[in-house]
Structure 1
Amino acid sequence: MKIDYVGRTALLRTINPSLVHYESNNNPELNEEWLWDGEYLTFKAGHIHKFYITSNYTVEELKIKPSDKSTIKISSNDQVTSQTVFID
């Protein structure tokens, strides 16, 4: 029987490169999709709250570098490796 890891929380840097998702409990319009490449998260789709430096822009690329303590909710068993560290 295969173990289902979906919904568990893991350290981001320990999962496979993959699409990762933020899903709002009450507001689906706030959902986000990001690409995890093993080092950076790159925004792909969804909601981004406004930036204050200017009011007229298009988001072309938004990339962040998570820390070693960053966590993610597993959304696919394909994200899990033998090296994945769960914190729940």
Structure 2
Amino acid sequence: MPAAAPDPRLQAFGFAVRDAREHSDMSLEALAEAAGISARMLIGIEHGRRNPSLLTILAIAEGLDLAPADLVAKGSRRDNSA
């Protein structure tokens, strides 16, 4: 059975995380370390395959020096399916 397609909202949030990370000139490994999560988990989030908990979203936002609401809002604006 093929894997289900990622939820577009998770994809949009993942794109927002990746965009913010790249805009901050951070490597994936540096952000993962700053957020206290594994690089593998961060890859899954950025690709829309992982559904991060609130605590993970807070940690990522802190690692990016962004307000969590700004990061979530950026992902919500990219999602045209909702």
Is the shorter-chain TM-score for this pair beyond 0.5, marking a shared fold?
Answer: no
**Between structures 1 and 2, the one with greater helix share:** 2
Q: TM-score, normalised by structure 1?
A: 0.26
**Between structures 1 and 2, the one with greater strand share:** 1
Larger radius of gyration: 1
Q: TM-score, normalised by structure 2?
A: 0.26
